[in-house]
């Protein structure tokens, strides 16, 4: 079984809480024995896959497979052409790990996403912009650390695709089982 889940903001990507009262995957009524394929930190939202199939995690997350994942990041400030070029080029030092090249572009308009609860803080004097980033690796808080390294901290982060499977019109906190066609989309680059 392979499930797509729109992980909401503030949910820990595991089934047991680290602290009392913490929201986890256990709060969403998943079938028994499924486990998350990869992670999204508590502050991130979007497409998360879960499965009960052995070996799916290593198959999907092995860096040698160069499996693409696309994120939309609302950042503080308006990224410069130089900042975008640095993101694309890769080689950003994240505590001993050098990032691989990625796709990075400035979006002309904000994406059509459900509102976040709680909303992102608003500051009248500081503009925000949306970036679209496609990575083939997934280190801890990587997108956030990359955008901060080029001077534009991430305020909101949403994973919108894994392979060619899109989050689409799902709402935060909802999940569904993938059909055969959707499963094939995950492996496409």
Q: What is the DSSP code (8-state) at residue 77? A: S
What positions carry a catalytic annotation? 41
Tell me the two tokens of residue 104.
């990075």
Question: Is 59 strand, coil or helix?
Answer: helix
Per-domain residue ranges for the chain?
2-187
Gap between the Cα atoms of 62 and 136, Å rounded: 10
3-class secondary structure, 128: strand
- pTM of the predicted model as reported, rounded to 2 decimal places: 0.94
Q: Which CATH number fits domain 2-187: 3.40.50.300, 3.30.2350.10, 3.90.226.10, 3.30.420.270?
A: 3.30.2350.10
Task: Choose among 141, 158, 135, 137: nearest CA to 7.
Answer: 158
- pLDDT tens, residue order, the chain (189 aa): 999 999 999 999 999 999 999 999 999 999 999 999 989 999 999 999 999 998 887 777 776 777 899 999 999 999 999 999 999 999 999 888 899 999 999 999 999 999 998 888 878 888 999 999 999 988 888 999 999 999 999 999 999 999 999 998 999 999 999 999 999 998 887
């Amino acid at each position: 079984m392979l499930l797509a889940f729109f992980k909401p903001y503030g949910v820990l990507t595991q089934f047991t809480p680290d602290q009392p009262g913490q929201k986890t995957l256990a709060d969403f009524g998943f079938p028994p024995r499924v486990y998350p394929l990869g992670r999204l930190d508590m502050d991130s939202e979007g497409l998360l896959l879960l499965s009960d199939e052995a070996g799916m995690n290593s198959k999907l997350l092995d860096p040698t497979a160069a499996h693409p994942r696309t994120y939309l990041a609302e950042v503080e400030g308006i990224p410069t052409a130089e900042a975008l070029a640095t993101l694309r080029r890769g080689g950003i030092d994240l505590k001993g790990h050098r990032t691989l090249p990625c796709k990075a572009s400035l979006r002309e308009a904000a994406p059509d996403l459900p509102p976040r609860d709680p909303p992102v803080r608003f500051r009248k004097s500081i503009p925000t912009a949306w970036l679209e980033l496609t990575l083939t690796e997934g280190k801890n808080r990587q997108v956030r650390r990359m955008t901060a390294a080029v001077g534009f901290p991430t305020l909101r982060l949403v994973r919108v695709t894994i392979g060619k499977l899109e989050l689409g019109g799902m709402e935060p906190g909802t999940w569904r089982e993938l059909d055969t066609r959707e499963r094939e989309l995950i492996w496409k680059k």
